Structure 1
Amino acid sequence: MAELIGLEQLMSRGRLPGHPVAFREGEALGFASLVVRAAGWRAAFERHGGRRQALYFDDTFEFSAALLGAWHAGVCVYLPADAQPATLARLRDEVDGFAGKIPAEYAPLSPGEGREGGWTPLSPEARALVVYTSGSSGEPTAIPKRLRQLTREVATLAALFEERLGEARVVSTVSHQHIYGLLFRVLWPLSAGRPFAAHGLTYPEDIVAALRQGPAGLIASPAHLKRLPDMLDWAQVRGNLRALFSSGGPLPLEALQACRALLGQAPVEVYGSSETGGIAWRQRTGDDALAWRVMPGVEVGTREEMLTVRSPHLDLPEGDWLRTEDRVRLLPEGFELLGRGDRLLKLEEKRVSLSALERTLLEGGLLREARVLPLEDGHRLAVVAVPSEAGWKLHGEEGKRALNQALRQQLTSRFEPSAFPRRFRYLEAMPVNSQGKSTEASLAALFDPRRPRARVLEQSADRALLTLEASADSPYFEGHFPGTPILPGVTQVHWAIHFGRELFTLPPDFLRLAALKFQRVIQPGTSLTLELTWKKERGSLDFKLTSDTGVHASGRIVFGGANV
């Protein structure tokens, strides 16, 4: 492979003009093309003059050029995880401008004509980046990074994993808009001279197609690895998979086993956070309980069972330790993760550990995953859970109330009744964001009265069947119409889109409705069946709402836009 070049010297030292940087739709984009685009972005940022710019791009090559252009213009780049209205509105007060795939109302910058020379080494102490936590507590936290932190972490990754990849290029299901994707999909490949795919892999079929093109390293998240369909022809392409990486959340045992069976190897799991950078790694080839191995240069310890870290990936005074929120047990070969910290909450003047509640709920064998969270009033707790086979059996034979009661019974020996959760939601899988994490906001949304109670009966890569309850207390019935309430048609379409996004990876932009029909009104208390069919090649989601009385509504919802 090419020589590893630090991020500070990448543009000043350069590479041969034809050295491939990226691939876009079968076309190789060389280093000379990167220099031209980066120069154009440098000129645009210099003309603007603002020193804090938010970047959001679908195309990873264009993002890389804008990132390098910004750094060489003396700009600190702010990296939002998405371009949703709420995210951009919050950023408006934090940055001086925007660039990339941003709505016109934010006046995003465009690259211009710029001089291609004049690249000088960057300062390692430059404040290069601001990334954001996933917002698991509800509000994302900004985390600044100096350029030396990023360069050191890239060097660590190269020292650990470069030989695994060999001459392979990099493909990814993970967005470059957060730290894991940025490091593995952009900064490490740029420094190592390894070409990367300009577009992300949205669907499992895209992974197969990418591996057909030749040797590749796949950057993935648990959210994608948990959904590998066994009907695809993995055997024909897994020989081209040189290395597989996973980060952003815990990898369930079922996903690990699927990777071994379908992809022929266990992923290299990387443990860290936006704040700490990489801390440790492991590859569970045969041992499901393998300990985490600490990365070179990183030191770990404990304080009250909580992991503490001292690392060149951090920007702390020399000798200082950072305390994380993860409980660990130190071992001679590394450490074992024991779960998140206690997450204490005060209920009726008594402290309750949400983490202890979760651990106790899981011990009974009725649940595979569980998250406990406070509801908006702060005086009640709720549970979002993925039942085990035994849990679903109890739910199916005796009803949701019986499962609720069985779980509360498990808590009686350790907790007072005031700490018992009052509301429960049971899912086939936890909702996750692009980082593969379940945020508190997404879990709390499951208890929104506007969301109908639902249960997934069948699900595949392109079809799902659910039961829904048009509850009489749904706010959508209010005022529509007095005396004879019926469910509005716009609500029925909204439910189809909502569950479509939960169950499939849909493109971000709604385009239009087609073949829309409303055939029977839906009255309060109606039990419904929602059938969803996702046609990826057309970008369309077909839906049909039925009940014992027949078909109520059907139609086609068309989506577009890139999805990385």
Structure 2
Amino acid sequence: MDSQKAGSARLTLAMENWLMPVEGEDRLISWSRQREWRQSDFRRDVLALIGHVRGLPASRCALCFNNSYHFAVGLLAVLYCEKTPVLPGHQRQSVLEEQIAEFDALLTDCALTLPCPTITLPECLDSEADFPLPDFPRDASLILFTSGSSGKPQKIIKTLSCLHTESQWLANTWGEALHQARFVATVSSQHMYGLTFRFMLPLTLGLPFYAESVEVHEQLVNMAQQYPLALVSSPAFLTRLDAKITPVNCLKVFSAGGPLSAQSAEKIRQLCGVSPNDIYGTTETGILAHRQPQEPETPWRLFEGVSLRAKNEQSIRVFSDLVSQSEGLELGDNIALINHGREFYLLGRKDRIVKIAEQRLSLTEIEDRLIQLPVIEDACVLAIEKKGRPYIAAVVVLSPLGRTQWHALPQAEMNMRLRQLLRPWLAPVALPRFWRVLPAVPLNSQGKRAYADLQELFL
């Protein structure tokens, strides 16, 4: 291990030590526009919440938070109570009602009403606990959900030891460069990327994180004038940075959710003062590779501890300490290995999962939601490109009720109504932008959907 890696490794804190006080120090854990939370606040709040959670008969507690400090308190309290944290990854009432079988209780700072015991933060953090901090469960795990190729949420179990290993890799790679940084993010801590970079990494390095989400460039300008920042973001936010607004100086910029182009990376460098680090990984595998795009075809470099093995041209399997399966996990992307398998080029998705605005969307799920509507008899959804931007498009076959409404309403109003019916179930970016109504979905000679013909409908 070189000196940089050795130095950064000594700075790291295991999760069981996050609440341990240090004599003469009350370090900053998190802050918002209204207040700061220090080590003493963090320990007190987790203990207070433990007092509420330990009495629940529930063993699986869903965490749905807008505030990342509340999320941190909730996650640790559930773990210290030897219960399992469940991260649905969203706060949509309708979808949570469908997932209710996956959890027994809810911890939240949102206005959610579900048929299960619910603890609301920060109201429940007023009391002082009169008991010591329990032992930390080192063999614990948590549950996340991601979109599978079937369109149904796919349950992923992550052990804490796996999350700690992942944080250690990141600390070894960038820990020294992040010295004195404050972490700010545009992504949620309740998805794998945000969980690792927005939540785990700063606490592992003993660095503070911003409890709210950064939403506009102006917020970055204001904070960068006060603190050295590490920005955890995505191409959807970074490529919208306004060149007319004052540039900011960040210590680091991380991006994940979709590859950055070299042109976008250069724009980010000019506006943020540092070349962005593009991160590649999946919820199932954890982090896999990184790069700093500086030319049109910049390859991805694997993290130490990750290896890829090609069974054939269509099957690449991942092996690492973050993957528990001895046979590895097959990648959902097509890639081309180079440099003795330590670097690769991304060649696109294998399945019907697409990424738009850095959100992973299941075309199958969108189709299922459409078919459940009383006005739709059949549907086919695809991703199309208009003026260089990707969109969701839908070909639908109307039911008798749908045909009645279609003839009675202007087409634009009917399209708007269909989108409105889908809003309780789908993220805004997943709502179809373009529509075509047909008597039947076209099929090819093999009886399968003729996607080439469908694409032509939107040219």
The TM-score with structure 1 as length reference comes to 0.62
Shift in CA distance, 182/15, structure 1 to aligned 2, threshold 3 Å: farther
1:108 is aligned to 2:114:
no
Contact 2:61 2:86 (8 Å CA) reproduced: yes
Q: Which residue of 1 aligns with 2:162?
A: 149
Q: Which of 28, 40, 45 matches 1:20?
A: 28
Contact 1:9 1:120 (8 Å CA) reproduced: no
Report the secondary structure of 1:214's partner residue: coil
Q: Which residue of 1 aligns with 2:50?
A: 42
Q: Shift in Å at residue 117 of structure 1?
A: 5.5
What amino acid does structure 1 have at the position aligned with 2:339?
P
Q: Which residue of 2 aligns with 1:219?
A: 232
1:263 is aligned to 2:277:
no
Superposition CA RMSD, Å: 3.8
Once the two structures are overlaid, the 10-residue window that deviates more, 208-217 or 377-386, is 377-386
1:335 is aligned to 2:334:
no
What amino acid does structure 2 have at the position aligned with 1:30?
R
Q: Shift in Å at residue 156 of structure 1?
A: 0.8
Q: Shift in Å at residue 163 of structure 1?
A: 1.7
Report the secondary structure of 1:194's partner residue: coil
Shift in CA distance, 255/505, structure 1 to aligned 2, threshold 3 Å: farther
Contact 2:262 2:295 (8 Å CA) reproduced: no
2:25 and 2:170 mapped to 1: Cα distance? 26
**Bigger relative CO (Cα 8 Å, ≥ 6 apart):** 2
Q: Which residue of 2 aligns with 1:325?
A: 332
Q: Which of 116, 135, 138 matches 1:124?
A: 138
Q: Any gaps of 5 or more consecutive residues in structure 2?
A: 1-7, 355-360, 372-376, 430-459
Q: Which residue of 2 aligns with 1:60?
A: 68
Contact 2:93 2:113 (8 Å CA) reproduced: no
1:290 and 1:203 mapped to 2: Cα distance? 28
2:149 and 2:261 mapped to 1: Cα distance? 19
Q: Which of 155, 160, 176 matches 2:173?
A: 160
Contact 1:97 1:108 (8 Å CA) reproduced: yes
Q: Which residue of 1 aligns with 2:325?
A: 316
Q: Shift in Å at residue 5 of structure 1?
A: 1.0
Deviation string, structure 1 residues 119-157 (Cα, Å, up to 9, x no partner) = 35423321x211111456422201011110111111111
Shift in CA distance, 17/91, structure 1 to aligned 2, threshold 3 Å: farther
Shift in CA distance, 15/183, structure 1 to aligned 2, threshold 3 Å: farther
Aligned residues: 396
1:298 and 1:336 mapped to 2: Cα distance? 13
Report the secondary structure of 2:40's partner residue: helix
Q: Shift in Å at residue 325 of structure 1?
A: 1.9
Q: Any gaps of 5 or more consecutive residues in structure 1?
A: 344-353, 359-370, 393-427, 432-442, 451-472, 507-564
What is the aligned-residue identity percentage? Answer: 24
Q: Counterparts in 2 of 1:279-294, with a 5 A limit? A: 279-284=288-293, 286-294=294-302
Q: Which residue of 1 aligns with 2:90?
A: 82
Deviation string, structure 1 residues 297-352 (Cα, Å, up to 9, x no partner) = 222222213332221112234xx322222222222272223424644xxxxxxxxx
Q: Which residue of 2 aligns with 1:201?
A: 214
Q: Shift in Å at residue 45 of structure 1?
A: 1.1
Contact 2:21 2:39 (8 Å CA) reproduced: no
Q: Shift in Å at residue 212 of structure 1?
A: 2.7
Report the secondary structure of 2:12's partner residue: coil
1:316 and 1:8 mapped to 2: Cα distance? 26
Q: Which residue of 2 aligns with 1:231?
A: 244
1:94 and 1:328 mapped to 2: Cα distance? 34
Q: Counterparts in 2 of 1:349-388, with a 5 A limit? A: 383-387=382-386
2:23 and 2:334 mapped to 1: Cα distance? 45
2:11 and 2:203 mapped to 1: Cα distance? 11
Shift in CA distance, 132/382, structure 1 to aligned 2, threshold 3 Å: closer
What amino acid does structure 2 have at the position aligned with 1:281?
H
Shift in CA distance, 264/136, structure 1 to aligned 2, threshold 3 Å: farther
Contact 1:102 1:108 (8 Å CA) reproduced: no
What amino acid does structure 1 have at the position aligned with 2:138?
P
Shift in CA distance, 85/52, structure 1 to aligned 2, threshold 3 Å: same
Contact 1:170 1:216 (8 Å CA) reproduced: yes
